[in-house]
Amino acid sequence: MNNYTQNFLQLVNNPFKIRLFLLAKLPSAYFSGVRVLVADEEKCVVSVPYKWFSKNPFKSTYFACLSMAAEMSTGVLAMAHVYKRNPAISMLVMKVQGNFNKKATGRTHFTCEDGNLIRQSIEQAVSTGEGRMISVKSYGRNEANEIVAEFDITWSFKVKSTPSI
């Protein structure tokens, strides 16, 4: 793990700093109660509660809040591997596909364990100079460890072009 990845993961795993980041940059996630529970180079776990701000009229967590938590579990891993990278890497969600297996009526924990695949895709983008796309999985489980929802998030990574002077 390089120092920049390690520094980013320290920031993300600091509850105070990640909440400030969410409030400043992703206020909808902050107010919905989306929280990063743990992140390392390979895995990220993000939770979203069933509460007033994240509920729908059907007495379950609104699908958009579930999607937000799923995307964040993959995005934290991607950001860890592109943080302060030289050359700089752009990252963009290209596709989101979700399957909902049962009602989310409590806290849902989304886990992505594809950090190594993300890192490899970024390394390929750097070494070839060509953009790379990768689809990664995030599984949302309830308190009984049942899969509530599963998402495929497709990310694109590309070396940023330097402006000519």
Structural domain including 57 reads 3-159
- Tens-digit pLDDT profile for residues 33-86: 999 999 999 999 999 999 988 998 999 999 999 999 999 999 999 999 999 888
Query: Could you tell me the CATH number of the domain that includes residue 119?
Result: 3.10.129.10
Torsion sign over Cα 119, 124, 129, 130? negative
Q: Average pLDDT for residues 2-15, to the nearest whole number?
A: 88
Q: Is the pLDDT of residue 164 over 60?
A: no
Note the pLDDT of residue 86. 85
Domain for residue 80, yes or no? yes
Q: Report the C-alpha gap between 92 and 15 in whole angstroms.
A: 25
- Tens-digit pLDDT profile for residues 26-48: 999 999 999 999 999 999 999 99
- Tens-digit pLDDT profile for residues 99-112: 999 999 999 999 99
| HSE-CB for 6 with a 13 A CA cutoff | 3
- Tens-digit pLDDT profile for residues 111-156: 999 999 999 999 999 999 899 999 999 999 999 999 999 999 999 9
Contact 151, 97 (CB under 8 A): yes
Domain for residue 17, yes or no? yes
Domain count, the chain: 1
Domain for residue 164, yes or no? no
Note the pLDDT of residue 4. 86
Domain for residue 62, yes or no? yes
Following DSSP, what letter does each residue of the chain receive, concatenated?
--HHHHHHHHHHT-HHHHHHHHHHH-HHHHHHT-EEEEE-SS-EEEEE--SGGGB-TTSSB-HHHHHHHHHHHHHHHHHHHHTT-SS-EEEEEEEEEEEE-S---S-EEEEE--HHHHHHHHHHHHHHSS-EEEEEEEEEE-TT--EEEEEEEEEEEEEPPPPP-
Domain for residue 165, yes or no? no
